[in-house]
Structure 1
């Protein structure tokens, strides 16, 4: 396995954030990729990115979100905020992310972005439901004290939404019958069995019939056949499954976000970051977004991509002020591109975070026509 180091950053409020670090490349203009994982899979599951970081002039910092291994659990009061959809929960994540970036600037001597904006600085990435945490940083200037903002703003080169499910962005579900829910499948009766089914389902590959249509009917949304050879999860050893998986954290801090209260909050967060004129022009105004998904990801990720693309394209057509956003579909990729095709995935991320003026990128599967 690729070598990396393990660290714990203690934030000013006493919260610990655990992360693994590829270490710095031997250059002065490397990019620091800071990543948050998704539901049920911790930062260890992202480790293949470390292997390919230095060849891309990248330093990878793979963080465990709170409640996951090594990071401070949320308090019961904070979980109550999550369950009620209280925006304070997201604001706290924004502040703690800002503190983390400031810590890396001070203690790890993060290089500033180069003059052309193509190297250096931070690329902040949220994978799957981790996108909700990453977006929080850009959602409300009130959440971040002015001096802290002035410290980190010049460094934040890009924000990456890596295959977020529609729920992470507060998008409504596709209006289709028979949407498969891995946690509600009656064939699995215990929590452990349901969680294993979820892990297999979300890490499988899906041949969507017509995603170029941008219509929900073009996705495969039914229960997949029992083909374990088609799943990233089932190619892991028992030791890897145990190391990467965290059911207790997923149930406590992620599943409550699927309820209507937090979905409304996440919807507002997404639209504020991308479409609020005040935010786009004054809060991290130099930070564009990359939304990247795999062509064979599960339907929640594909619907997240389609919904975001449609919202952005409509705003562009109206002439609305929008945060510059690039959309990228990776051929042959599933929800675990970082694991099954890490070199290709990292290449795509860095290539699409290096543009001076990001623009909407049409893929072979999605068009504005």
Structure 2
């Protein structure tokens, strides 16, 4: 089982596409979002056999190998085969102060940074790594970036020398500290029973949304919220319920993840976004690496509201070199890696090339 344990005894499961045929390859270090995880391995009682349950990036792994890349997709804490949160940590998610929650999220960023540093050394990864936070996972990769100044000089040096880019792959506005106008999301729908909300969310978040003119920033009349029409298609329309169940774990939502999309975490998340993306010390410690924001026009409305917010912040920052480079993915849903893994790999490749290339 691919497991890495840090010096602090935090264990992470990861899905690994394996070593490509060339030596100078790119490694994509991916952190998953809400409910949909990177996979798991379940052992039988006698520990003599196990079954591999696929994760949401499973279709992308062989494509990466065919393109001479490597994907290492991490299961966050509380997800299968990674270390659960302690009762004290779960209490902070539920009712901690801003200071406690900030320490918790930055601590998770530190764990992930040390995980990546450990994998760089143990797997002899070439110094061409791209960090990707997909969906809710983005706040954890931003916490990785923000935590760099708290790491030892040797760890800083290895990460700075190895990591070339970071991609925010469709982060929802809810996890970036954005104050939002009223908008539908099943996880916050009080008209649904609490035990039904995760099931509705799992289907809703994967739909192909039909938005209007998204260049009209903050114009909610252009937004399809997905709460009044069941005729939208989904990448999982041809996926059996049994296979879909292997891609998801709904239990962490109520324990920790749902709090990260609630207004009570807003101030903490906004401060982490600033420290990761706009703080000059943080950016210089990472040697000013490129940060991309990638979004498909068929993704959920929360993703596009995040795009509007981040574009506003970049304009307000007014730096000579933009803190974020924005890329669009026409026709793509939130689960592009599942419905078109070849197309998704080519898009990630395009963002990995020098900035003179058009993504």
Q: What is the alpha-carbon distance in structure 2 between the residues aligned to residue 95 and residue 184 of structure 1?
A: 29
- Counterpart for residue 343 of structure 2: 344
Per the alignment, in what secondary structure is the counterpart of residue 63 of structure 2? helix
Per the alignment, in what secondary structure is the counterpart of residue 137 of structure 1? helix
- Counterpart for residue 177 of structure 2: 170
Q: What is the alpha-carbon distance in structure 2 between the residues aligned to residue 324 and residue 265 of structure 1?
A: 20
Is 2:208–2:234's contact at 8 Å kept on the other side of the alignment?
yes
User: Which of 66, 89, 105 lines up with 2:77 in the alignment?
Assistant: 66
Q: What is the alpha-carbon distance in structure 2 between the residues aligned to residue 185 and residue 101 of structure 1?
A: 37
User: Which of 186, 193, 196 lines up with 1:189 in the alignment?
Assistant: 193
Per the alignment, in what secondary structure is the counterpart of residue 142 of structure 2? helix
Per the alignment, in what secondary structure is the counterpart of residue 215 of structure 2? helix
Q: What is the Cα deviation at residue 133 of structure 1?
A: 0.6
Q: What is the Cα deviation at residue 183 of structure 1?
A: 2.6
Q: What is the Cα deviation at residue 256 of structure 1?
A: 1.3
Q: TM-score, length-normalised on structure 1?
A: 0.86
Q: What is the alpha-carbon distance in structure 2 between the residues aligned to residue 34 and residue 14 of structure 1?
A: 21
Query: 2:164 matched to 1:157?
Result: yes
1:210-259: CA deviations, max 9, x gaps?
A: 102122322222514123x6123443212212211111112212111233
**Structure 2 vs 1, CA of residues 126 and 278 (structure 1 numbering), >3 Å: closer, same or farther?**
same
Is 2:149–2:285's contact at 8 Å kept on the other side of the alignment?
no
Q: TM-score, length-normalised on structure 2?
A: 0.88
- Counterpart for residue 239 of structure 1: 242
Query: 2:300 matched to 1:298?
Result: yes
**Structure 2 vs 1, CA of residues 277 and 40 (structure 1 numbering), >3 Å: closer, same or farther?**
same
- Counterpart for residue 354 of structure 2: 355
Is 1:324–1:357's contact at 8 Å kept on the other side of the alignment?
no
Task: Extract unaligned runs of 5+ from structure 1.
Answer: 1-5, 113-120, 364-369
**Structure 2 vs 1, CA of residues 270 and 181 (structure 1 numbering), >3 Å: closer, same or farther?**
same
Q: What is the alpha-carbon distance in structure 1 between the residues aligned to residue 73 and residue 37 of structure 2?
A: 9
**Structure 2 vs 1, CA of residues 215 and 198 (structure 1 numbering), >3 Å: closer, same or farther?**
same
- Counterpart for residue 34 of structure 1: 29
Q: What is the Cα deviation at residue 190 of structure 1?
A: 5.0
Per the alignment, in what secondary structure is the counterpart of residue 350 of structure 1? helix
The aligned runs of 1:191-230 (5 Å cut-off) are: 191=195, 193-217=196-220, 218-221=222-225, 223-227=227-231, 230=233
- Counterpart for residue 45 of structure 2: none
The aligned runs of 1:1-369 (5 Å cut-off) are: 6-43=1-38, 44-83=55-94, 84=96, 85=98, 86-112=101-127, 121-173=128-180, 175=181, 177=182, 179-185=183-189, 188-189=192-193, 191=195, 193-217=196-220, 218-221=222-225, 223-227=227-231, 230-280=233-283, 282-316=284-318, 320=319, 324-355=323-354
Q: What is the alpha-carbon distance in structure 1 between the residues aligned to residue 68 and residue 133 of structure 2?
A: 20
Is 2:173–2:306's contact at 8 Å kept on the other side of the alignment?
yes
Is 1:275–1:323's contact at 8 Å kept on the other side of the alignment?
no
**Structure 2 vs 1, CA of residues 97 and 183 (structure 1 numbering), >3 Å: closer, same or farther?**
closer
1:66-95: CA deviations, max 9, x gaps?
A: 000000001122223334242111221122
Q: What is the alpha-carbon distance in structure 2 between the residues aligned to residue 194 and residue 241 of structure 1?
A: 17
Q: What is the alpha-carbon distance in structure 2 between the residues aligned to residue 244 and residue 344 of structure 1?
A: 20
Q: What is the alpha-carbon distance in structure 1 between the residues aligned to residue 163 and residue 348 of structure 2?
A: 15
Per the alignment, in what secondary structure is the counterpart of residue 9 of structure 1? strand
1:303-330: CA deviations, max 9, x gaps?
A: 11121122213433xxx36664221110
Task: Extract unaligned runs of 5+ from structure 2.
Answer: 39-54
